[in-house]
Amino acid sequence: MRVLVIGLGGVTNGGKTTLAEKLKKMLPKCDIISQDDFFKPESEVETDERGFKLYDVLDALYMDELVKSIRNWMKSPASSGVSTELQSPCDNLKNTDDVYILIVEGFLLYNYEPLNELWNRRYFLTLPYEECKRRRSTRVYQPADTPGYFDGHVWPMYLKYKNELEENASNIVYLDGTKSQEELLTSVYSDIIQELKKLME
């Protein structure tokens, strides 16, 4: 049995969840874990002096639980309830019977050291400031974004973590989140297929 662990990280509202769901339908035995499921309850998330809840930092998440979930999946992916029904033929890939794929999607995946030994492939979606702010303003969050939250907390944290990545990490594929969903899907899908082929050689 072989597993492929794919990271799909990057900017808020960059299209990570949509891309992950579409990939799941096209890849054999593919599962998704979402980092958003590991947020601490609001009462445990720190508030800064401006009254902003600091959600866009590692401390707002149960990161060790996320790592544990991924490791548990890697140990026995077949028992995770992963669908083995493939909705479209997988580029004539043979012998994928013992291969399982996990896509982990989230906004802060590559700045936490214990996660970095698990990835086979890492993607990072980017958006320019204006587009990101526009998309964010159309979404409803629990708790709701307070006035000034995007500029005061969300965007600065995104830039901070992205800069850290660019200084320290290699082997990250940066994706332009302004491209059409189809274009992004095509490029990531074909890249994962290459990775699968390597795994099966």
Place of tokens 């059409």: 180
Q: What is the DSSP letter of 150?
A: I
Q: In whole angstroms, what is the distance from residue 193 CA to residue 48 CA?
A: 44
The question of whether 36 is a catalytic residue gets the answer yes
Q: In whole angstroms, what is the distance from residue 196 CA to residue 96 CA?
A: 8
Catalytic residue selected from 36, 37, 91, 176: 36
H/E stretch holding 4: strand 2-10
Task: Please compute, for residue 19, the number of CA atoms within 13 A of its CA located in the half-sphere on the CB side.
Answer: 32
> How far is CA 137 from its chain centroid?
21
Query: Residue 144: exposed, middle, or buried by beta-carbon count in 10 A (0-12, 13-18, 19+)?
Result: exposed
Q: In whole angstroms, what is the distance from residue 99 CA to residue 76 CA?
A: 12
> How far is CA 199 from its chain centroid?
21
Give me Rg for the CA atoms of the chain: 17
Contact assessment for residue 81 and residue 185, using Cβ atoms and an 8 Å cutoff = no
* Catalytic residue list: 36
